[in-house]
Amino acid sequence: MDPNRAARGGEQSSLGGGMEKGGAESSIACARCGKPASLQCPKCAQLKLPREGAAFCTQDCFKEAWSSHKSVHIKLDALTLQQTPEGWQYCLKKGRTRTSQLPRFDWTGPLRPYPISKMCVVPDKIEKPDWALDGTPKIEPDSDLQKRVEIKTPEQIERMRETCRIAREVLDAAARIIKPGITTDEIDRVVHEETVARGLKEYDMLTLLSLVSRKLEDGDIVNVDVTVYYKGVHGDLNETYFVGNVDEASKQLVRCTYECLDKAIAIVKPGVRFREVGEIINRHASMSGLSVVKSYCGHGIGELFHCAPNIPHYSRVWHDRLWPDEWTAVTADGKRSAQFEHTLLVTETGVEVLTARLPSSPDVFPWLKP
C-alpha cells in the first residue's frame, strides 16, 4: 500500500510551482527547522489555511518537509468530503477524490463499484493512529523500519497478541451476519461497532465489492479485511466468505486460497528466504489451475501498519489490474478472486499465528469440519 503515491501525483504542482512570499516575517517560524520564515506553501494559501505550520524559510526546507506537510491538504480534503450534503460518492485516487458518475474504465467481469457511504464517527477518547482521518501515514514513510526488520520486544509481542486477538473477534462478528440480502454497509457498521465497543479504532473493512452499499446476492463470495489499532500496535487479518449457495468453481477458489496461506505458514521459521513463501503459494495455486494476484503483498506490522519486510506472495507471473480508485485489485479476465491473511510472529522454532481462528469462531469453512 502506498497512500503517498496519489498525493504525489495530485499535489506535486504545489511544490513545482514554487513558494509564495508572505507578509510579516519575524513572527512566523519555519514549519520544518524553526528558523524565521517568509515563504508560504501555495496550496495552503489557496486553501486559506493559517500560516503557522505552512511557512518555510527556503524552497529546500519546503521540499524536505513535503512528504509530511502535504497531509495537511489531504486532511482538509477529507473533512470537506464528509461535510458535502450529497455524501461520499464513487471513489478515485485511494479516496482522495470523489465523483457522482461511474468512472470511465475498461471494466473486467460483472463487478462494478457502487457509491461509498460517509465515514463512521470514532469517539474522540479513542486513541487513533496518525493516518486515521485521511488514510495517509505521517511517520511511516520516512521511518527507518522501512529499510530494516524490527525484532519485537517481549512487551511489544504481548501488545500484538492482545490486539490481534481482538481483530480476530471483530472479523468473526462480521462473518456471522454474512448472508444474501445484507449490504456491505451493514458489515461495515458491525465492524465499526464491535471495534469501538472495545475502545479501539478500526482501520478498514474492505470487501471485494470495494466498500460499496450493494446487497450481497446468493452465490457471491465476499472478502472482509479488518485491522485494529490498540495500545499503539496494529493487528491485521482477512478472510473470504461464501454468501448462500456458491458454485463449485468459487468453492474451489476459496479453498485453494485458504490452503495457499496454510502451506506458506507451515514453512515459516528463522532462515527461510522471503521468496520461498511466494514460491509455495504460487506452486499450489498453479497446480489448481489458478494464478496469484500481485497488486499487494505481505508486510511487516507493529507500531507501524506497513513496514519491512515486504513478503511477495507470488512468483514471476500474475494477471491483475487496478480500478480507478487505485486500491481495488481485480483479475484481468474478470474472474473471481479470493484472499486470506494472518498476522504472524516468527519465533525461534517456527511461527505463531497471532490472528488464528478461535474455538468461538463461526463454522463457515466446510473443509475445516471434522
- The end-to-end CA distance of the chain, in Å, is 38
pLDDT digits (tens, 9 = 90+) for 300-345: 999 999 999 999 887 665 567 888 887 788 888 888 999 999 999 9
pLDDT at 317: 53
Residue 11 pLDDT > 50, yes or no? no
Q: Which residue has the cell 480476530?
A: 168
Please tell me what DSSP assigns to residue 118. P
Judge whether 48 and 28 are in contact, CB under 8 Å: no
Q: Which residue has the cell 506490522?
A: 301
Q: What is the mean pLDDT of residues 87-107?
A: 73
Per the model's pLDDT, the better-predicted residue between 6 and 271 turns out to be: 271
CA distances from 49 to 42, 63, 73, 76, 223 (A): 10, 19, 9, 9, 40
Residue 193 main-chain phi, psi, to 5 deg? -65, -40
Residue 226 pLDDT > 50, yes or no? yes
Judge whether 346 and 277 are in contact, CB under 8 Å: no
The alpha carbon of residue 42 and the mean position of all alpha carbons in its chain are separated, in whole angstroms, by 30
**Cα–Cα distance, 194 to 202 (Å, whole number):** 9
Q: Which residue has the cell 457509491?
A: 115
Q: Which residue has the cell 496454510?
A: 262
Q: What is the pTM of this model?
A: 0.73
Amino acid letter, 21: K
Helix ranges (DSSP H) in 1-70: 3-16, 42-46, 59-69
What domains are there in the chain, each with its CATH number? 39-80 (no CATH), 118-353 (3.90.230.10)
pLDDT digits (tens, 9 = 90+) for 114-136: 777 777 788 878 888 888 777 77
Question: What is residue 175's three-state secondary structure?
Answer: helix
Residue 167 pLDDT > 70, yes or no? yes
pLDDT digits (tens, 9 = 90+) for 12-37: 323 333 444 444 444 688 888 888 88
**Ranges assigned E (strand) in the chain:** 20-21, 39-40, 55-56, 90-92, 97-99, 201-206, 221-230, 233-242, 298-300, 307-311, 320-322, 329-331, 344-346, 351-353
Q: Is the peptide bond before 309 cis (omega within 30 degrees of 0)?
A: yes
pLDDT at 60: 85
**Cα–Cα distance, 166 to 36 (Å, whole number):** 47
pLDDT classification of 87: cutoffs 50, 70, 90:
low
Residue 344 CB contacts under 8 Å (≥ 6 apart), including other chains: 265, 268, 351, 352, 353, 354
Residue 227 CB contacts under 8 Å (≥ 6 apart), including other chains: 167, 202, 203, 204, 234, 235, 236, 237, 305
**Cα–Cα distance, 289 to 337 (Å, whole number):** 13
Is 143 exposed, middle or buried (CB count within 10 Å of its CB: 0-12, 13-18, 19+)? middle
**Rounded mean pLDDT of the chain?**
81
| Grid cell digits, residue 78 | 477529507
| Grid cell digits, residue 227 | 485491522
**Cα–Cα distance, 164 to 173 (Å, whole number):** 14
CA angle 186, 191, 196 (to 5 degrees): 125
